[in-house]
């Protein structure tokens, strides 16, 4: 059934890129014009950290060559003591060459970072980086080589061939080859105990993808139908396919296929688990790349987790890291990274201004603290830069158009109601109060650098017009009460709705509610824990929602998962089409059938993910965004808000600007975190 296929939505879905291997000596020049055109195009100054896929490329570009390798003193000592093979044997014969951003770094030093009690785990990757097959380049958009030296998508988009860099070793010193990828596919994905239900995106056309292993360096994904989106798996930090995270030599020791079912179970029991699946999962933590807990796990990253306490985690350099700088120095420069647990965000701010942290990510350094951080820059010996977030709108407001309430439902379902809410918002005040005036008041749509962007998408109903808003509410039959204080519903009761605010009521919620009061709308705010929100969403109890989008608005992410533009997920963060989403995920069995406009958008997106024609794709994407601008499925407030990135003045080679976004490769991925260094006294 066509519909069924339509609903089997891969979260990382099709983004069509004509197949290409990395051509030319400098990969960032690679790619044809059409492909570059179609992606998000930034023209900022942050995309100039260069690298070479091969030493030969470096020589070809500069005339220089690299003949010998050197290493960190701590590793040299280990080599001298016979604890470690020499650096030439640890590096690939043809390592990846990074051109340091400012200068050749100094070896040594530990970076200090903090994490808060609410459990963010990823922040260390700001300095560690993510190693995927490909890497998002400095333009925050195109792909460039990394673990893979090249890839090729067949003309029918059914076979994706990837070639690995030769001679890369795991952090344990064991070689990394297609054997490890084979282990991932055959012993994890195909193992029915470990993966009883493979994710839908691994089954394009309803059939689980196949893999072929040609030699130690070359392997293929093959699909039953054309699946051009597979290319997008290659650079993604955690989403999609992560075949290079499980070292066979390590994980096979817990796997029944290799040690026998009895031994695998016995090992699990001994370690305090109920069965081998739990034991294996514990060692693997497979969802994301973050080596959260397991200090034994072999890694390909520049640092590996060495110690994990309840309030301190320590990463240390990976002696087998496979990248060098232009003078042949093995990266990374720093010895390691300490991440300290800081329970209270306010203490966090205190530690930042005291200059205790080498670098802190934006969610720990809110804009409201910006003046305080700026004032203490000198005494704390750090610098605060503003990094753009790639969000279309920092907070979104949504009206549940499928609410189970005979009086409210027809009002909520009417797009004019959303228009009125949007028109009565004073975005300038929100920008000033919440974002120190640094954001851009706009409607929710993609960021302006996106190829899908049109200025009027961002302008739609985004300028305050209380008169017009009142007029709309009058048209909708929401009359004023006797005191002209509140609006009344058609049934005579006062119009009063509850807005879920997520975990906390924030100033932005208070502001919006006060602004809506001026057009007679009584909106009360209520915060719920995540779990409660999820339940309220599943049971369709949410009337309104106001919360962070937590979602970047790059073209790539839009195509992969047009979260706020289509009702695809019956989630707490996307309640505007709650029952339509249920209809969608159940293939039409549950929920409520969406109106034609929404169905048309779903079809448009379906076509987008399948077409090979770039112009057609952009046209379809713009139609979806135009539909958002006309109907305001979600109401945007202020977007393109920068986030402060405070960093110690001792940290060098760190870019002044970058994208504050995870999906581009842990924020700093495009800037090669392994070339950051600490000035040594």
Partner 1 sequence: MSGPDPALPPAAAAEAAADERYYVASQWQLMWRKFRRHHMALAGGAVLLFLYLATGVAGFLSPYEKATRDADYLLAPPQRVRLVHDGRLIGPFVYSLERTRDPETLQRIYTENTGDPHRIRFLVRTDPYKLLGFIRTDLHLFGVHPPATLYLFGTDELGRDMFSRVLYAGRVSLSVGLLGVTISFLLGVVIGGISGYVGGAVDTVIQRIIEFLISIPTLPLWMGLTAALPPKWPALRVYFGITIILSILGWTGLARVVRGKLLELRGGDFVVAARVSGATAGTVIRRHLLPSFLSYLIVHLTLAVPNMILGETALSFIGLGLKAPVVSWGVLLTSAQNFRTVALSPWLLIPVLFVVVTVMTFMFLGDGLRDAADPYK
Partner 2 sequence: MGQLILRRTLYMIVSLWAISIVAFVVIQLPPGDFVDTMILRIVQETGEHMEEEEVANLKRLYGLDKPMVPRYFSWIGKIVLRGDFGRSFAFNKPTAELLAERVPLTMFISFLTLLITYVIAVPIGIYSATHQYSWADHLFSGVGFMGLATPNFALALVLMWLGFRYFDISIGGLFSTEYRLAPWSWGKLWDGMKHLPVPLLVIGTAGTAGLIRVMRGTLLDELGKQYVITARAKGVDERRLLFRYPVRIAINPLISTVGWLLPAIVSGEAITAIVLNLPTTGPMLLQALLFQDTFLAGSTVLFLGGLTVFGTFLSDLALVWVDPRIRFERAQA
> Using CB under 8 A, which of 342, 408, 423, 635 touches partner 2?
342
CB 365 within 8 A of CB 646: yes
> Using CB under 8 A, which of 233, 276, 576, 662 touches partner 2?
662
Rg of the chain taking only CA atoms, in angstroms: 26
Instruction: Name the residue nearer to partner 1 (CB basis): 268 or 499.
Output: 499
**Distance of closest approach, residue 649 Cβ to partner 1, in angstroms:** 17
> In the window 600-629, what residues touch partner 2 (CB under 8 A)?
none
> First CA to last CA across the chain, in angstroms?
68
CB 179 within 8 A of CB 248: yes
Residues 12, 231: Cα–Cα separation, whole Å: 10
Instruction: Name the residue nearer to partner 1 (CB basis): 73 or 117.
Output: 117
Question: Rule CB under 8 A: is residue 590 a binding residue for partner 2?
Answer: no
Question: Rule CB under 8 A: is residue 663 a binding residue for partner 2?
Answer: yes
Question: Rule CB under 8 A: is residue 357 a binding residue for partner 1?
Answer: no
Question: Rule CB under 8 A: is residue 673 a binding residue for partner 2?
Answer: no
Residues 549, 297: Cα–Cα separation, whole Å: 34
Q: Look at residue 525 and give its three-state secondary structure.
A: strand
Closest CA to 658 of 649, 646, 645, 647: 645
Spell out, one character per residue from 140 to 179, where the chain touches partner 2: x when CB under 8 A holds, - when not: ----------------------------------------
Question: Rule CB under 8 A: is residue 63 a binding residue for partner 2?
Answer: no
**Distance of closest approach, residue 437 Cβ to partner 1, in angstroms:** 8
Question: Rule CB under 8 A: is residue 512 a binding residue for partner 1?
Answer: no
Q: Which does 563 bind (CB under 5 to 8 A by kind): partner 1, partner 2, none?
A: partner 2
Which range touches partner 1 (CB under 8 A), out of 95-103, 345-353, 465-473, 616-624? Answer: 345-353
Torsion of CA 31, 37, 43, 49, to 10 degrees: -20
Q: Which does 340 bind (CB under 5 to 8 A by kind): partner 2, partner 1, none?
A: partner 2
Q: Which does 68 bind (CB under 5 to 8 A by kind): partner 2, partner 1, none?
A: none
Question: Rule CB under 8 A: is residue 526 a binding residue for partner 1?
Answer: yes
Instruction: Name the residue nearer to partner 2 (CB basis): 240 or 328.
Output: 240
Which range touches partner 2 (CB under 8 A), out of 190-198, 411-419, 505-513, 639-647? Answer: 190-198
Question: Rule CB under 8 A: is residue 312 a binding residue for partner 2?
Answer: yes
Q: Which does 429 bind (CB under 5 to 8 A by kind): partner 2, partner 1, none?
A: partner 1
**Distance of closest approach, residue 163 Cβ to partner 2, in angstroms:** 27
CB 148 within 8 A of CB 234: yes
Question: Rule CB under 8 A: is residue 214 a binding residue for partner 2?
Answer: no
Closest CA to 353 of 373, 375, 378, 383: 373
Residues 177, 513: Cα–Cα separation, whole Å: 57
Torsion of CA 660, 663, 664, 667, to 10 degrees: 40
> Using CB under 8 A, which of 23, 56, 65, 200 touches partner 2?
200
Spell out, one character per residue from 370 to 389, where the chain touches partner 1: x when CB under 8 A holds, - when not: xxx-xx--------------
* Distances, alpha carbon 520 to alpha carbons 414, 465, 517, 599, 675, in Å: 18, 14, 5, 33, 57
Torsion of CA 345, 351, 354, 360, to 10 degrees: -90
Question: Rule CB under 8 A: is residue 195 a binding residue for partner 2?
Answer: yes
> Using CB under 8 A, which of 309, 406, 482, 484 touches partner 2?
309
> Using CB under 8 A, which of 34, 266, 347, 504 touches partner 2?
347
Instruction: Name the residue nearer to partner 1 (CB basis): 179 or 522.
Output: 522
Q: Where are the beta strands (DSSP E) in 173-217?
A: 210-213
Q: Which does 329 bind (CB under 5 to 8 A by kind): partner 1, partner 2, none?
A: none
* Distances, alpha carbon 375 to alpha carbons 349, 371, 380, 482, in Å: 13, 6, 10, 52
Q: Which does 433 bind (CB under 5 to 8 A by kind): partner 2, partner 1, none?
A: partner 1
**Distance of closest approach, residue 271 Cβ to partner 2, in angstroms:** 10
110-116 and 336-342 as β-strands: parallel, antiparallel, unpaired? parallel
Q: Which does 661 bind (CB under 5 to 8 A by kind): partner 2, partner 1, none?
A: partner 2
> Using CB under 8 A, which of 37, 102, 216, 530 touches partner 2?
530
Question: Rule CB under 8 A: is residue 496 a binding residue for partner 1?
Answer: no
* Distances, alpha carbon 151 to alpha carbons 27, 384, 560, in Å: 13, 39, 20
> In the window 423-442, what residues touch partner 1 (CB under 8 A)?
426, 429, 432-433, 436-438
Q: Which does 207 bind (CB under 5 to 8 A by kind): partner 2, partner 1, none?
A: none
* Distances, alpha carbon 385 to alpha carbons 125, 362, 646, in Å: 18, 10, 6
> In the window 367-426, what residues touch partner 2 (CB under 8 A)?
none
Instruction: Name the residue nearer to partner 2 (CB basis): 529 or 649.
Output: 529
User: Over the range 192-215, which residues count as b (16 or more CB within 10 Å of their CB) and which as e?
Assistant: eebbeeeeebbbbeeeebebebee
**Distance of closest approach, residue 424 Cβ to partner 2, in angstroms:** 28
**Distance of closest approach, residue 265 Cβ to partner 2, in angstroms:** 16
Which range touches partner 1 (CB under 8 A), out of 165-173, 449-457, 464-472, 523-531? Answer: 523-531
DSSP 620-675: HHHHHHHHHHHH-SEEE-EES-EEEEEEETTEES--S---B-STTTTTTGGG-GGG
Closest CA to 356 of 113, 117, 584: 113
Question: Rule CB under 8 A: is residue 346 a binding residue for partner 2?
Answer: yes
Residues 435, 366: Cα–Cα separation, whole Å: 9
Question: Rule CB under 8 A: is residue 650 a binding residue for partner 2?
Answer: no
Which range touches partner 1 (CB under 8 A), out of 17-25, 91-99, 145-153, 505-513? Answer: 505-513
User: 224 Cβ partners below 8 Å, 6+ apart?
Assistant: 158, 204, 205, 206, 207, 209
* Distances, alpha carbon 352 to alpha carbons 115, 128, 380, in Å: 12, 20, 8
> In the window 277-306, what residues touch partner 2 (CB under 8 A)?
277-278, 281-282, 287-288, 292-294
Question: Rule CB under 8 A: is residue 442 a binding residue for partner 2?
Answer: no
Instruction: Name the residue nearer to partner 2 (CB basis): 95 or 392.
Output: 392
Closest CA to 333 of 109, 542, 85: 109
Number of residues that bind partner 2 (CB under 8 A): 69
CB 451 within 8 A of CB 555: yes
> Using CB under 8 A, which of 63, 272, 406, 492 touches partner 2?
272
For binding to partner 1 (CB under 8 A), which residues are involved?
345-346, 349-350, 353, 368-372, 374-375, 426, 429, 432-433, 436-438, 498, 503-505, 507, 509-511, 513-514, 524-529, 531-532, 536, 541
């Amino acid at each position: 059934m066509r519909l069924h296929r339509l609903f089997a939505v891969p979260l990382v879905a099709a983004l069509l890129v004509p197949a290409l291997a990395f051509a030319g000596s400098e990969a960032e020049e690679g790619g044809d014009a059409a492909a570059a055109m179609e992606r998000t195009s930034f023209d900022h100054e942050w995309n100039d950290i260069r690298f070479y896929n091969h030493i030969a490329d470096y020589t070809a570009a500069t005339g220089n060559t690299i003949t010998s390798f050197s290493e960190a003193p701590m590793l040299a000592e280990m080599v001298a003591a016979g604890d470690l093979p020499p650096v030439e044997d640890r590096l690939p014969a043809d390592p990846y060459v990074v051109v340091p951003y400012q200068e050749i770094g100094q070896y040594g030093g530990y970076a200090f970072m903090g994490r808060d009690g609410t459990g963010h785990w990823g922040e260390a990757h700001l300095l560690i980086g993510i190693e995927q097959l490909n890497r998002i380049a400095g333009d925050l958009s195109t792909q460039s080589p990394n673990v893979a030296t090249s890839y090729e998508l067949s003309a029918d988009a059914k076979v994706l061939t990837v070639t690995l860099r030769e001679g890369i070793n795991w952090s344990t010193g064991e070689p990394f080859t297609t054997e490890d990828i084979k282990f991932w596919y055959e012993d994890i994905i195909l193992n029915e105990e470990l993966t009883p239900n493979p994710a839908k995106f691994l089954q394009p056309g309803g059939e689980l993808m196949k893999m072929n292993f040609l030699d130690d360096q070359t392997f293929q994904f093959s699909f039953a139908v054309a699946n051009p989106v597979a290319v997008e798996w290659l650079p993604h930090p955690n989403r999609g396919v992560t075949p290079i995270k499980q070292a066979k030599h390590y994980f096979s020791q817990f796997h029944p296929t290799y040690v026998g079912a009895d031994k695998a179970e016995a090992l699990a029991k001994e370690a305090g688990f109920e069965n081998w699946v739990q034991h294996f999962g514990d060692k693997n933590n497979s969802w994301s790349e973050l080596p959260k807990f397991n200090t034994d796990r072999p890694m390909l990253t520049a640092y590996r987790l060495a110690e994990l306490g309840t309030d301190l985690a320590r990463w240390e350099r990976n002696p087998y890291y496979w990248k060098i700088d232009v003078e042949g120095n093995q990266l990374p420069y720093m010895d390691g990274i300490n991440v300290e647990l800081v329970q209270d965000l306010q203490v966090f701010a205190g530690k930042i201004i005291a200059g205790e942290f080498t670098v802190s990510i934006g969610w720990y350094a809110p804009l409201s603290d910006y003046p305080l951080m700026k004032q203490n820059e000198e005494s704390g010996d750090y610098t605060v830069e503003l990094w753009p977030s790639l969000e279309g709108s920092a907070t979104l407001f949504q009206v549940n158009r499928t609410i189970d309430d005979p009086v409210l439902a027809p009002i909520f379902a009417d797009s004019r109601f959303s228009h009125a809410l949007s028109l009565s918002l004073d975005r300038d005040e929100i920008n000033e109060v919440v974002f120190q005036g640094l954001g851009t008041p706009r409607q929710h749509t993609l960021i302006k650098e996106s190829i899908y962007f049109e200025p009027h998408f961002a302008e739609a109903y985004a300028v305050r017009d209380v008169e017009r808003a009142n007029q709309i509410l009058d048209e909708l039959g929401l009359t004023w009460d006797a005191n002209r204080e509140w609006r009344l519903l058609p049934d005579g009761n006062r119009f009063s709705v509850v807005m879920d605010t997520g975990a906390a009521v924030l100033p932005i919620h208070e502001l919006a509610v006060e602004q809506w009061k001026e057009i007679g709308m009584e909106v009360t705010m209520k915060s719920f824990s995540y779990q409660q929100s999820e339940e309220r969403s599943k049971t369709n109890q949410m009337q309104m929602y106001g919360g962070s989008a937590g979602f970047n608005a790059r073209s790539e992410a839009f195509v992969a998962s047009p979260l706020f533009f289509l009702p695809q997920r019956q989630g707490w963060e996307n309640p505007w089409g709650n029952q339509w989403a249920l209809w969608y995920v159940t293939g039409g069995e549950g929920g409520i059938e969406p109106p034609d406009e929404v169905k048309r958008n779903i079809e448009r997106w379906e076509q987008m993910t399948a077409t090979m024609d770039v112009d057609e794709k952009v046209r379809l994407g713009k139609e979806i965004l135009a539909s958002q601008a006309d109907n305001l499925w979600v109401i945007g407030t202020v977007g393109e808000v920068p986030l402060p990135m405070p960093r110690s003045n001792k940290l060098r080679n760190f870019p002044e600007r970058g994208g504050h976004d995870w999906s581009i490769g842990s924020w700093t991925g495009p800037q090669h975190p392994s070339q950051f260094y600490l000035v040594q006294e």
